[in-house]
A and B are shown apart, each in its own frame.
Chain A
Amino acid sequence: MQTFSALSLIRRAFGGHAGWQAHWRTPEPKAAYDAIIVGGGGHGLGTAYYLAKEHGLRNIAVLERSWLGGGNTGRNTTIIRSNYLFDESATLYDHALKLWEGLSGALNYNVMYSPRGVMMLAHTHHDVQVSKRHVHANRANGVDNEWLTPEQAKAFCPPLNISPGLRYPVLGAALQRRGGTARHDAVAWGYARAADALGVDIIQNCEVTGIVRGRDGAVEAVETTRGRIRTPKVGVVAAGHTSVVMAMAGMRLPLESFPLQALVSEPVKPVFPCVVMSNTVHAYISQSDKGELVIGAGTDAYVSYSQRGGLHIPAHTLDAICELFPMFRRMRMLRNWGGIVDTTPDRSPIIAKTPVPGLYVNCGWGTGGFKATPGSAHVFAWTMARDAPHPINGPFTLERFRDGQMIDEAAAAAVAH
């Protein structure tokens, strides 16, 4: 792998930038691998990277039915934070946040992690109480979070309208300074490039169409659009399509897939310094380094795989954005799209072994999986390599729904990301 550095950049510049290699190979699938990852998004590519890097599994492949990072990795609003309420979630998401902090160096790829601060607004008395509870719970877990008055919130984010005359006035905000954004494509590409350098085969345009099980029920192979590939271990990291893939092994999961919409404005000069989210009026917004305002809207009400949704969903969000940030009232929106998110009943992910030997699943990230990418991949690789969960993902089982051990993060996760 060519390493990227200022020196290599200057040297290639003198050669007219002609000598750069492709980021990863385009191999033909082999007849057999030690493990196969289904899904070439950030979580899947990251899993392959950590399997190769930390567990020595090099004869592995990532199968992607389309192109790398073309699903939810390329469709999310790139927000990173770890201010979740419960101990299990705070540990998981903060594990990810710590990996984000060193990720560009570890991958030799600039993922543009920018800890610009994530500020969550409170608009009602109830909001204030819940937000303060989150702040205290986070601090008890060693996760930074602080309470701001409306004036302090305005000082941190000058475009914010804190007029008491608003229908839902800003009564305060919880600020996680280590939160921020990263470049979503770079996360997929960085993991793909680093995994490829360790010998992982990354196979695009290869859709898994079946999971073949032996007489003992264990996984033996996967059927794909490019033929049968033998493997004793399959890790399904298929986001919104997890139910479809797991049905191939005869399993039903506690998942429903919904379109989650987002949109970006035309690009403008830097005007917005941080990430602002509001669960109550349902809006979240940041500005990308390209200058577009990146705005997250809600999910459509119904199960769908259509990667689009009703216009009333983003229109509702834009109402709230215009109220909170009056200077954006004349901004023009450039693009609007949907991603298919797999939601669990408790809005927490499932990172676990399954009852099928050799079959592992990492799913249920719902509306907020991007922030967890490195941590999710790291603990899932551990789970696949050792056939046992890492202590961090131990609570995130399939069986928790049977046993009533829910990790109910609806307040932290159901709306805002």
Chain B
Amino acid sequence: MLLIDCPYCGKRPELEFAYGGEAHIARPQDPAALSDDEWATFLYLRTNPKGTHAERWRHVHGCGRFFNAVRDTVSDVFAATYRVGEPRPDAAPRKAGE
């Protein structure tokens, strides 16, 4: 089970959180102007990287707030968690145990 560092509450077990998918996918500014391809890209296409992944989590059984995290999808080690609206930190993942 992951130990997740909520930026508001501190480190809590994964069971307190809900996963929210890839982060930094901006909602379209003008939805009516989008083509079908652009809708499909927004709704369905995902980076799904083997490596560093920026993702949303929600502390559902805690403060209830959404936040973002950067995690390595091979080791599952978190590099950083940060508040919504803050830029994605360009941090290298920590080694397990750090």
In the assembly, what is the distance between CA of A310 and CA of B17, in Å?
Answer: 13
B26 to chain A, nearest CB (A): 16
**How many of B's residues come within 8 Å of A, CB to CB?**
28
* A301 interfacial by beta-carbon distance below 8 Å: yes
A44 to chain B, nearest CB (A): 19
* B90 interfacial by beta-carbon distance below 8 Å: no
B49 to chain A, nearest CB (A): 7
Evaluate contact between A310 and B46: CB separation under 8 angstroms. no
In the assembly, what is the distance between CA of A241 and CA of B51, in Å?
Answer: 12
Partner of A254, one of B2, B45, B55, B71: B45
In the assembly, what is the distance between CA of A244 and CA of B44, in Å?
Answer: 16
Evaluate contact between A401 and B44: CB separation under 8 angstroms. yes
Residues A243 and B75 in contact in the complex (CB < 8 Å), given A254-B40, A402-B36: no
Evaluate contact between B48 and A243: CB separation under 8 angstroms. yes
Evaluate contact between B48 and A311: CB separation under 8 angstroms. no
Residue of B with least CB distance to A257: B48
B31 to chain A, nearest CB (A): 15
Chain A positions 165 through 201: 1 when the CB is less than 8 Å from some CB of chain B, otherwise 0 = 0000000000000000000000000000000000000
Evaluate contact between A312 and B15: CB separation under 8 angstroms. yes
Partner of A252, one of B47, B71, B73, B76: B47
* A334 interfacial by beta-carbon distance below 8 Å: no
* B1 interfacial by beta-carbon distance below 8 Å: yes
Report B-chain residues with C-beta under 8 Å of the C-beta of A342: 48
Residues A252 and B1 in contact in the complex (CB < 8 Å), given A301-B19, A402-B37: no
Residue of B with least CB distance to A312: B1
A248 to chain B, nearest CB (A): 12
Chain A positions 231 through 250: 1 when the CB is less than 8 Å from some CB of chain B, otherwise 0 = 00000000001011000000
Report B-chain residues with C-beta under 8 Å of the C-beta of A306: 73-76
Chain B positions 1 through 17: 1 when the CB is less than 8 Å from some CB of chain A, otherwise 0 = 11000000000001100
Report B-chain residues with C-beta under 8 Å of the C-beta of A64: none
Report B-chain residues with C-beta under 8 Å of the C-beta of A302: 2, 19, 55, 71, 76
B71 to chain A, nearest CB (A): 7
Residues A304 and B44 in contact in the complex (CB < 8 Å), given A244-B50, A311-B1: no
Report B-chain residues with C-beta under 8 Å of the C-beta of A37: none
Residue of B with least CB distance to A342: B48
Evaluate contact between B74 and A305: CB separation under 8 angstroms. yes
* B63 interfacial by beta-carbon distance below 8 Å: no
Partner of A305, one of B15, B22, B73: B73
Residue of A with least CB distance to B75: A306
In the assembly, what is the distance between CA of A310 and CA of B19, in Å?
Answer: 14
Evaluate contact between B18 and A304: CB separation under 8 angstroms. no
| B interface residue numbers (CB < 8 A to A) | 1-2, 14-15, 18-19, 21-22, 36-37, 39-41, 43-50, 53, 55, 71, 73-76
